Amino acid sequence: MNNMLKIIFTLMIVCLSAVISAEALPTDIVYLQTRWAEIKYQLPEGQQEKAFSTLVSEAEKMRINHPQEASYLIWEGIIRSTYAGAKGGLGALDQVKQAKQLFEQAIALAPDAIAGSAYTSLGSLYYQVPGWPLGFGDDKKAKTMLLKGLSYNPEGIDANYFYGDFLLNQKQYQQALQVFEKALLAPPRGGRELADEGRKKEIEAGMLAARKHL
C-alpha cells in the first residue's frame, strides 16, 4: 500500500505559481516561490524531502503571522502538497489533507487571491489524491475547481497545465493536447523564470503522452 501511495504522490505537482509578477507580492512570499522552484527543479530527488520539510516549517510560521492574508495560506498549501509528493507513503496523506484545508480557507477569505490559485491547487489535489477510503479524491470536484481556477486566470500557465493534466488523466487526449498548447503560450511571469522553465518541461511531457494516444 505504501508503495502505491508513493507512486501516486510522486506524480503530484500541485505546487502552483502566481500569474502576477514577483514584485507585486510580499518579499517573504517571493522567497517561498523562489525556494520552492529551486528545490523542485534543481535539487536531486533524494534531497527534496528534507528541503521541503524545512520550507513547510518556514511557510507555516509566515502564515501564522499573517492569518488574514490568503497568499500565505495558498503557499503553505502548495509547499505541503509538493512535500507530500517527495515524502510518499501514508505520511503524505496527512500533508495533502492539511493542504486541502489551507486552500479552502484561502477561498473563503479571498477567492481571487493569486489569480484564483487556491481553486486550481485544490482541483489538482482532488484528481491526484486517492479516493475513499484512503483519501478525498473526486474527479467531479476536481473539474469544478480547475474550471473555476481558469475563470480567474484563463491564460495562466499553471491553470491551463493542471486542467490539461486532468483531461489527460481522464483519457480525453485531444482536449488535453489543446489545453497544453494553450499553456505553452502563457505569458512569462516576472521573477518566476525557473518555475516557468520547469513547468514548460512538464507541459511538453504531457503533450507527448497525449499524442501517443492520438
Where residue 38 sits, what CATH number does that domain have? 1.25.40
Full residue range of the structural domain in which residue 45 is found:
2-149
The sign one gets for the Cα dihedral 39, 40, 46, 48 is positive
pLDDT confidence of residue 88 = 87
Query: What's the confidence (pLDDT) of residue 1?
Result: 44
Q: Is residue 155 part of a domain?
A: no
The answer to whether residue 15 scores a pLDDT higher than 90 is: no
- Position 139 in a domain: yes
pLDDT at 89: 80
Tell me the average pLDDT of the chain. Answer: 90
Contact between residue 183 and residue 164 where contact means Cβ atoms under 8 Å apart:
yes
Q: Specify if 119 maps to a domain.
A: yes
Contact 146, 118 (CB under 8 A): no
pLDDT at 21: 39
For residue 137, being part of any structural domain is answered with: yes
- Tell the burial category of 185 from Cβ atoms under 10 Å away from its Cβ (0-12, 13-18, 19+): exposed
The pLDDT-based confidence of 46 (bands split at 50, 70, 90) is: very high
- In this prediction, residue 133 has a pLDDT band, given cuts at 50, 70 and 90, of confident
Please state which of the ranges 2-11, 61-70, 129-138 shows the lowest mean pLDDT.
2-11
Judged against a pLDDT cut of 50, whether residue 127 lies above it is answered with yes
Any domain includes 177: no
From residue 33, how far is each of 69, 71, 120 by CA, in Å?
16, 11, 16
Using pLDDT thresholds of 50, 70 and 90, give the confidence band for residue 17: very low
- For residue 194 the three cell numbers come to 525557473
Number of domains in the chain: 1
User: In this structure, is residue 176 part of a structural domain?
Assistant: no
Cα-trace Rg, the chain: 16
7-11, 100-104, 140-144: the lowest-pLDDT one: 7-11
pLDDT for res 3 = 47
In a domain, 198, yes or no: no
Please report which confidence band the pLDDT of residue 14 belongs to, taking 50, 70 and 90 as the band edges: very low
Instruction: Give residue-wise pLDDT tens across range 137-189.
Output: 999 999 999 999 999 999 999 999 999 999 999 999 999 999 999 999 999 99
In a domain, 52, yes or no: yes
